[in-house]
A and B are shown apart, each in its own frame.
Chain A
Amino acid sequence: MSKRHNKRQSDCPDPEDIVAYLRNELDLREQSRVHDHLAGCSSCRAVAENFRGTIDKLENVEEKRLVRDLTPAVLAQIPETAWQQDKDIHFTHRTLFPILMLRLTTCLIVALGSAYVVHRMWQRHHATPPDEGALTHTTTPVLKQHEARKEGLLWLVRVQDSSGKWDPDQWGGRREYTIGLTGMALLSLARSDEDFLKKLKSIDQAVDFLLSQQHIDGRFGDEFDGTMYNHGIATVALLETYGKNKDPDLEEPLRKALDFIRRQQLPSGGWGYRKHSGEMANTSISTWPLQALLISAELGREDEGHALKRGLAWLVGVVDERGQFGYQQPRHFPHGPNALTAMGAYCVLRASKEGIAVDRRLLHQVEQALSMRPPEKPKANFYRTYFQVCALKEADKKQYADSVSDLQQELLSKRQQSGTNKGSWDPQDQWGTVGGRIYSTAMAALSLEGHSVQGL
């Protein structure tokens, strides 16, 4: 197995890396590289098969079953006083100290407040008229963005069905995507910090509706070609809702939903329209399950079966040398590269922020592709814009602030500013007939969401 083996090629991976590959221990780029190499090198494939066989035999050993619960015996060795002592210490740290700090802080605030009042009284007494020629700095663009987003959310709340869902039939979309569209609308509400939403039941009702549509196997919605869109979007929306409110009633449904995602994962690591023999994974479908697994990881859950890692390894495998993401393989762009690149970039950049090892050169190429401006102004596409904004924000660099701002300004110019649908967006893009006004408004509101790029 040494590197001097005369059948090995010069680009063969080190055997230790073959073992690490089998154990899913390489970073995404390396995992993908070794995977591709094994497909074309019979010598390394034989090495991998040998090790795999050994690991299979090792895994197939019997366990020794415990015949009794050791908990009473363990607890008997810990003195009772230790528990009470911990409670006392915790009480002191968590209750007495904060009370003391609160009192000190209150005194400080009162003192500062008094000083401020005295200062203002003195200023008023000695004030001079303002300079009429002075420039006034406004935050008008930011205010417009905030107002537009708020109006979009208000529109969504207004048109929500009493069952909790958003009905595509009424708004120009397709009925079979009710789950996904409800998920999109819920996501836009859940991600927002608007005060008015906290007083309404819109989020709760949407959650209740989605939960009512979950099957025993964890799937949200009926089975059809668009299942993974519906299920993926609903799971992401519920995960983000859970991330905010930590509602324990969501834990079991989410566990089942994530298990369903893992079961639908194709052997290649991505996700396709259906799980059956011959199905190929594609970036459009894979993006939503990957986001769900990423959020799950961010919430501290295990990456069971290495589903997230395998999914990301598949995803980086469709990146070409220019950092663009293909549909099913590199340089495969049935509808152009921009939307796919935005979706893929968002997942990869988010994964990198989560601490998952991603090749630095790949990240740089992806960011380059993401920030490239096309030669002509592209046609409107709410879906693409949403992922572009998310990906650029995830890259989190000052030089992308203008790009984010441009995308958001473009959205503002398309908003309906009067009439019964004031605050919403016309579904005038290639997915408009699928998602309708719910889709266009939810995606636009999400794109205008204001977490900043380096202080923007």
Chain B
Amino acid sequence: MKRPAKDTAESVRTISRRAALLGGIQLVFAGTLVLRMRTMQLADADQYRLLAEENRINIRLLPPSRGLVQDRNGTILAGNVQNYRVVLVREDAGEPRAALERLARLIPLTEDDIERAEREIVRHRPFVPVTIADRLNWEEVSRIAANAPALPGITPEVGLSRHYPFHEEFAHVVGYVGPVSEADLAARENPDPLLMIPRFQIGKVGVERELEETLRGSAGHRRVEVNAVGREMRELGRQEGDPGTNVRLTLDRDLQAFAMARLEGQSASVVVMEVDTGDIVTLASSPSFDPNLFVRGISVTDFNELRENEYRPLSNKSVQGAYPPGSTFKMVTALAAFEAGLASPEERIFCSGHVEISNRRFHCWNRRGHGRLNLVSALSESCDVYFYDMAQRVGIDRISAMAERLGLGLRHELPVSGMSSGLNPSREWKRERRGAEWLVGDTVNASIGQGYVLTTPLQLAVMTARLATNRMIEPRLVLSIDGEDVARSEPASLGLSSAVLDFVRRGMWECTNHTRGTAYSSRVVMPEMRMAGKTGTSQVFSITSAERAAGIRSQDQLPWNRRDHALFVAFAPDVNPRYAMSVVVEHGGGGSSVAAPIARDIMLAALAGGLPPLEAYPQPQRNRIESMINTIRDQIGPATQPGEASERA
């Protein structure tokens, strides 16, 4: 070796020193690592353990089956049907295009469907099932099942979807469900996590919406272990949810079907209720729509067609429509006057066909005048001048109070959508809303249900029920929830003098049963089904002088949307009444010619518990009625048997 030994010894010592120093540094570093592990694995272990569990465990909600909506006899109005769909899992199916083309030989799939499915398939991870086709029929499903070996990764699945077996008949009352929208979520303070499930549906309109919480039920859940990319590894636990609660309505399917068929072609509404209980047995609005379209997702074309139809099929006219009640309001004016003792029912008033009030001429509908008449004939012949006179005596305050007492201008508690409160005008209302003082002319107009007064068909039915019973009948739509009858309180007395009320009822009776009554042609000849009622024809537009000059004299010559509304309210039988009802035909023309015949047919159907008995009609009308009834019978089919449809549940 070239180097002196001293240098070597010195350099060896240097290396040893440095080696020791280096070893020390390495030990310190290792100590740091141990400290770090101690912090993470001992001090913060719980926190990291929690994060690991959060990574690993997903909660998947199980949607409950939605509660049924049934009619009073248990017939299902809104049920759940099994919905077959076919899903594809890419990693099992292989090349998606080829798989879809194989599938297209078994079920109808358009080129568009295939392309849409393909796009969706590539968007998801290979293990995510993608729905290719929905709402398959049983035959298609069986074809897929039979060819399963040739279709790897393609499986039929079954789910529940809402179905409305009677399509148009209950669309307005029962409503429909649809996918949860942003607005739905925003409207709820603490939205049920169920609403976040893709494709979950909630009530959008009607009972489906108003009783959403009852019908929805509560979610079950599955705890699943997932891996980093979200694939389910195994199920850790499962808890089934509670299905939604069934709701039974007071409606009667058969009567509703009859009413809807009877209203066909009209823009009209019918409300029939039991006078004792307020139970609504029919709440019909025509025309209607098929709620199943909305469940599936209605096309823009279909939706625009419904929205732009001038008969407004989407509107539930029974509770949303507010119409001038016309002469059906005359009972209110009369009762206000007699209750106040300002007139007596026997008093006769002279009608010359018009009367001058505040330098304005107010006409009776009968320009030639009715001569002298008392309350009963004033109601039955619907003389306007009589009520003009009463109006001046009694004033708007008492009329308005009586209207409220009879249930007009009030929003009744019912689980329906968009309920209108109508309008029961008063001095304060006019001052606030119109900035003008109430005039005598306003009272005169209001006395015959014109001017500012607006009522809904539901309110008119409630009014009629109260007149028939002298009690505070409240309408009711829900009969029972989960088999438990909804509690009802005995309705309080209305407190009207029965003597006076008898005169009013007599007037209504003569209206349909006296030869001079405005609805005499719609009388019932079977004593046990005899009906008492009141016609109303409410003006929407006056016939202008220009139109008069052009020779237009009658309603038929006017365009549809300028014609008068036709109204009729009735109760029957005339002794111990069971049902009260209202009929409003938008722009129908006359109450006696259009609304009253509809009311009679439906009332007879209600009383008979089936189709109206032909013997109830006057002899000369029977041929015409018979053919009408036959047409309706063919349309609605045989009566449903209670529970018949429940197997769909």
To the question of whether A and B form a pair in one complex, the answer is no
